[in-house]
Amino acid sequence: MSERIDALLDAARRALRQARRLSPVDRRRGLRAIAEAIEGRADAILAANAEDVEASPDLSSALRDRLRLTPARIEGMARAVRNVAEQPDPLEEERDLGVGPSGIAVRKKRVPLGVVAVIYEARPNVTAECSALTLASGNAIILRGGKEACRSNEAIGEAVRAGLLQAELPPDLVTVLARSSREEVQALLGAVGRVDLVIPRGGDGLMSMVDQHARVPVIRHGQGICHVYVDAAADPQMAADIALNAKVHRPGVCNSIETLLIHEELLASTLARLGPALTNAGVEIRADPSAKAVLQQNGVSAQPATDADWDTEFLSLVLAIRTVANFEQAVEHIDRHGTNHTAAIVSGDEAAAERFLTEVDASCVLWNASTRFNDGGELGLGAEMGISTTRMHAYGPMSAREMTAEKIVVRGRGQVRA
Amino acid sequence: MSERIDALLDAARRALRQARRLSPVDRRRGLRAIAEAIEGRADAILAANAEDVEASPDLSSALRDRLRLTPARIEGMARAVRNVAEQPDPLEEERDLGVGPSGIAVRKKRVPLGVVAVIYEARPNVTAECSALTLASGNAIILRGGKEACRSNEAIGEAVRAGLLQAELPPDLVTVLARSSREEVQALLGAVGRVDLVIPRGGDGLMSMVDQHARVPVIRHGQGICHVYVDAAADPQMAADIALNAKVHRPGVCNSIETLLIHEELLASTLARLGPALTNAGVEIRADPSAKAVLQQNGVSAQPATDADWDTEFLSLVLAIRTVANFEQAVEHIDRHGTNHTAAIVSGDEAAAERFLTEVDASCVLWNASTRFNDGGELGLGAEMGISTTRMHAYGPMSAREMTAEKIVVRGRGQVRA
């Protein structure tokens, strides 16, 4: 292991031990100090970000938009950190499990997971939000962002550490590893017993590296191949509204849909409304033959969908449309092609909707609502470390509470086992 | 991947899909049918077990005891399966998270983890209990027990599958892989996307193999280097009773202690009571110089403890004893040498006890009670798949509930994001 990684993991572990004694009041004080430090260093963060933007002239406009910071976005970061301080402290949560047969009192109490490494790509605000959620949950964090954002992440990391120092908390709770080699990332992934959890957020390339090298526990925030299914009993106008929103509201993010599944009985009525709306929004459509024919009748052009389209996260204004003969075909398609992220049904039939909500395996399943609601803020859960697409430990948006585990706490009066 | 593993993983996945539609009534009917099938095939199971015992003449008496089945133990297995049927069905649990800002109704609903592989060592009753917990939580399971128990496990597996068939449930929910090569186990550990979770239960050898080969999520039921700490404010008789029970009640199991830590002020009073009791119970003592001296004053002989003793899971009538100068030394010792399994404090000082319960990182921490209570049944949680010593997903005894995750279920009225 590289000396740098070795040293920073040691420092994080020491900070984690010191943090055990912090109270909820200490953690909230730290969060407010971080928010103030981000505001106080706004100019330095903006200057670093301008250098990042300048150093990557070839970024797509979508990626450039994700990378670029503005005074308003920095204000948003500080606000997100303050919002975390308003949430209930997860380490205060204790559950009573009652009294065991021997008379011992049994409770569960939340504890931090430990040293967490987050490996992510473009957006620098992730650096601030993950730092805040880490402090709020008593963990220590190593943040490894994308190289495009390295100067921005360093500047935000300096602000976070300054805030921690200001609040007399251990600064090594947060380490930004902005410029790091592939070998250093692999060292983190292999640090059994020293890194307690890795959260990779990104596309296939990052995930294969993690599959290949991770020896420590992983919670993936994987890609989102998300679906809307328009059931036979759907209101076609509601179906068109939800599908349009799920595709065009913010096409570059993970909870937007890539594929729309339409029951054959609703094909004509839904596409008569949706087809022109998609065209107006500049969406490129890739459709199966039945859907393509209906679109053409409505004066909407579409490319023929290929098999590869069902497995592609377009992250742009492209939508694949497939006709299904029945409910089962829709669920089977999502089973085969979905990435356990988000799936919605539009239907007026409660029984069909409840069956969909039960049978579809995704971190968030919705009935008569846009997939764009799979987001900590929209669900009322606050900021998030990521959206877990694995069923281990957390499934869906991970807030501070999901960054903890429950240990068993027993209080007795001298009981021994008979 | 070997053809056999490939085929059985496919079959398990198909069974898992079929099991999605089962109701709580179906699952309970299946559990009762499994209990009846175990009872109905008791003779065949006992005969297979006798062959296993005969085939391993060199087992230690402790291991032989773990391996051997009797009519009473088979009755106990059936009873454990029926007890699982009496527990609340985890898949019925839904939590209301309230209404999001857009008016969507947000709930969490429990879902199975998927295809689970358990790799374990001696005791054949694990086969029956893990099968029952798997059915109760909607999962499918691959059971790979130790080779000493292979005939017993096969016979129990046949009974379980017969019970499932009898109840018209998919028998491939439970597969016993009794005779398997190392390569086949490695194939299971590497089956990303096909095995959703591996639970290894055993010693260091198994754990290093898992560390080396696992590419799928792992929850370890690792070894238990457990501790009792006798605080300065302890009642010496209670301390002696708890330490004795934690060591000798069943020394071969994971929640027994290996090391006793005693505050120097309590050394004389505790060991005056405990030393002779340990000797009477046939315990070999390995003590640091201070403890050794006090034991000798009480006519109790001890070996000098070596550094290696603090890191050894004796699993037998051997106890290491160390004197500590203060509370902090005790916590530091447990931090360094404990395996996050179980730790108890004996103290009359509530503040010290609460600090111990907060600061010690173990799946179960106890105040004035024996470590032997870290057990699903004793804690009132029912049967267990194992005791997790990792903080990811579960920490402590894993019941059927811990074999599930929570997905987010949203019910709307056509909401889209603005």
Q: Which of residues 341-380 of A touch B (CB under 8 A)?
A: 353, 357-359, 361-370, 372-374, 377-380
Give the pLDDT band of residue A377 (cuts 50, 70, 90). Answer: confident
Continuous H helices in A249-326 = 267-280, 289-297
CA distance A290 to chain B (A): 26
Name the residue in chain A with its Cα closest to that of B367: A411
Burial letters A163-189, b for 16+ CB under 10 A, else e: bbebbebbbbbbbbbbebeeebbbbbb
CA atoms within 13 A on the CB side of A380: 16
Give the pLDDT band of residue B401 (cuts 50, 70, 90). Answer: very high
A122 pLDDT more than 80: no
On whether the CB atoms of residues A101 and A126 are closer than 8 A, the answer is no
CB contact under 8 A, B392 and A196: yes
A259 φ, ψ to 5°?
-130, 135
Q: How far apart are CA A4 and CA A176, in angstroms?
A: 12
Q: What is the CB neighbour count within 10 angstroms for residue A2?
A: 14
**Pairing of the two strands B303-304 and A94-99:** unpaired
In terms of pLDDT, which residue wins out, A123 or A263? A263
pLDDT at A315: 87
pLDDT at B59: 87
Q: How far apart are CA B62 and CA B251, in angstroms?
A: 9
CB contact under 8 A, A414 and B379: no
CB contact under 8 A, A217 and B217: yes
**Which residue from B118, B133, B130, B127 is spatially nearest to B52, judged by alpha carbons?**
B127
Least confident of A390-394, B158-162, B230-234: A390-394
Q: How far apart are CA A263 and CA A270, in angstroms?
A: 10
On whether the CB atoms of residues B114 and B16 are closer than 8 A, the answer is yes
Name the residue in chain B with its Cα closest to that of A353: B411
Q: How far is CA B64 from CA A361, B19, B221, in A?
A: 43, 37, 21
Burial class (CB in 10 A: 0-12, 13-18, 19+), A310: buried
Q: What is the CB neighbour count within 10 angstroms for residue A9?
A: 22
Amino acid at A330: A
pLDDT at A180: 86
Which of B220, B245, B411, B413 is the best substitution to test chain A (most A C-beta atoms within 10 A)? Answer: B411
CB contact under 8 A, A358 and B20: yes
Residues of A in contact with B102 (CB under 8 A): 369, 373, 378
> Could you give the dihedral angle defined by the CA atoms of residues B190, B195, B199 and B200, in that order, rounded to the nearest 10 degrees?
-30
Residue range B324-328: average pLDDT?
98
- For B247-263, the pLDDT digits (tens) are 999 988 889 999 999 99
On whether the CB atoms of residues B229 and B330 are closer than 8 A, the answer is yes
Beta-strand runs (E) in B209-317: 226-230, 257-263, 284-287, 303-304
Q: How far apart are CA A173 and CA A155, in angstroms?
A: 16
In the block, residue with structure tokens 């939000």: A129
Residue range B391-403: average pLDDT?
94
Residue range A186-214: average pLDDT?
90
A190 pLDDT more than 90: yes
Give the pLDDT band of residue B275 (cuts 50, 70, 90). Answer: very high
Is A43 in the B-facing interface, judged by CB distances under 8 Å?
no
Q: What is the CB neighbour count within 10 angstroms for residue A94?
A: 12
Which of A89, A366, A392 is the best substitution to test chain B (most B C-beta atoms within 10 A)? Answer: A392
Residue range A55-63: average pLDDT?
86
- For A309-360, the pLDDT digits (tens) are 999 999 899 999 999 999 999 999 999 999 999 999 999 999 999 999 999 9
Residues of B in contact with A114 (CB under 8 A): 391
Residues of A in contact with B379 (CB under 8 A): 97, 100, 104, 106, 408, 410
CA distance B296 to chain A (A): 27
Residues of B in contact with A353 (CB under 8 A): 411
Task: Give the single-character DSSP code of B132.
Answer: H
- A392 → closest Cβ in B98, B357, B393: B393
Q: How far is CA A267 from CA B71, B251, B292, in A?
A: 63, 68, 84
CB contact under 8 A, B410 and A365: yes
Dig out the tokens for A171 from the structure: 């600064």
In the block, residue with structure tokens 């849909």: A257
Name the residue in chain B with its Cα closest to that of A114: B391
pLDDT at B223: 84
Name the residue in chain A with its Cα closest to that of B106: A379
Dig out the tokens for B284 from the structure: 């070999």
Continuous H helices in B226-349 = 236-248, 267-280, 289-297, 327-337
In terms of pLDDT, which residue wins out, A262 or B121? A262
CA distance A300 to chain B (A): 24
- B378 → closest Cβ in A21, A101, A377: A101
CB contact under 8 A, A359 and B20: yes
Calculate what percentage of chain B has a pLDDT beyond 70.
Answer: 100
Contacts of B283 (CB under 8 A, 6+ apart): B247, B248, B317, B318, B319
**Which residue from B362, B384, B391 is spatially nearest to B227, judged by alpha carbons?**
B362
- For B108-118, the pLDDT digits (tens) are 999 999 999 99
A62 pLDDT more than 80: no
Amino acid at B347: S
Length in residues, chain A? 418
CB contact under 8 A, B392 and A113: yes
- B380 → closest Cβ in A97, A380, A415: A97
**Which residue from B389, B337, B56, B8 is spatially nearest to B173, judged by alpha carbons?**
B8
Residues of B in contact with A211 (CB under 8 A): 192, 215
On whether the CB atoms of residues B201 and B118 are closer than 8 A, the answer is yes
Give the pLDDT band of residue A60 (cuts 50, 70, 90). Answer: confident
pLDDT at A337: 96
Dig out the tokens for B299 from the structure: 């006519």
Residues of B in contact with A390 (CB under 8 A): 217
Dig out the tokens for B114 from the structure: 């998927």
pLDDT at B301: 96
CB contact under 8 A, B397 and A408: yes
**Which residue from B308, B302, B273 is spatially nearest to B288, judged by alpha carbons?**
B302
B21 pLDDT more than 90: no
- B102 → closest Cβ in A215, A357, A378: A378
Length in residues, chain B? 418
In terms of pLDDT, which residue wins out, A109 or A122? A109
Is B286 in the A-facing interface, judged by CB distances under 8 Å?
no
Q: What is the CB neighbour count within 10 angstroms for residue A133?
A: 31
Amino acid at B215: R
On whether the CB atoms of residues B122 and B59 are closer than 8 A, the answer is no
Q: How far apart are CA A399 and CA A386, in angstroms?
A: 8
pLDDT at B204: 80
Amino acid at A308: A
B1 pLDDT more than 80: no
Is B391 in the A-facing interface, judged by CB distances under 8 Å?
yes
A1 pLDDT more than 80: no
Q: How far apart are CA A138 and CA A169, in angstroms?
A: 11
Least confident of B9-18, B327-336, B358-367, B379-388: B379-388
On whether the CB atoms of residues A407 and A108 are closer than 8 A, the answer is yes
Angle between helices A267-280 and A236-248 (to 10 degrees): 40
Q: What are residue A42's DSSP bridge partners?
A: none
Residue range B176-181: average pLDDT?
88
**Which residue from A300, A359, A289, A273 is spatially nearest to A322, judged by alpha carbons?**
A289
Dig out the tokens for A44 from the structure: 């330095």
pLDDT at A66: 84
Q: How far is CA B228 from the centre of its chain?
A: 19
In the block, residue with structure tokens 């929103």: A245
pLDDT at A21: 87
Residue range B12-30: average pLDDT?
94
In terms of pLDDT, which residue wins out, A285 or A386? A285
pLDDT at A204: 80
Give the pLDDT band of residue B31 (cuts 50, 70, 90). Answer: very high
**Pairing of the two strands B342-346 and B318-324:** unpaired
- A192 → closest Cβ in B211, B359, B379: B211
CB contact under 8 A, A392 and B238: no
Residues of A in contact with B406 (CB under 8 A): 395-396
Q: How far apart are CA A280 and CA A244, in angstroms?
A: 11
**Pairing of the two strands B226-230 and B197-200:** unpaired
Dig out the tokens for A332 from the structure: 């089977």
Q: How far apart are CA A160 and CA A147, in angstroms?
A: 19
B178 pLDDT more than 90: no
CB contact under 8 A, B218 and A218: no
* Average confidence score pLDDT of chain A: 94
DSSP for B27-69? Answer: HHHHHHHHHHHHHHTHHHHHHHHHHHHHH-TT--HHHHHHH--
**Which residue from A111, A119, A128 is spatially nearest to A17, judged by alpha carbons?**
A111
Dig out the tokens for B18 from the structure: 């079929």
pLDDT at A222: 79
Q: Which helix (H) or strand (E) holds B144?
A: strand B140-144
Is B242 in the A-facing interface, judged by CB distances under 8 Å?
yes
Q: Which helix (H) or strand (E) holds B79?
A: helix B71-86
A225 pLDDT more than 90: yes
Q: How far is CA A24 from CA A88, A93, B168, in A?
A: 9, 11, 52
Dig out the tokens for B173 from the structure: 């929910």
pLDDT at B212: 87
Is A57 in the B-facing interface, judged by CB distances under 8 Å?
no
**Which residue from A325, A300, A301, A323 is spatially nearest to A310, judged by alpha carbons?**
A323
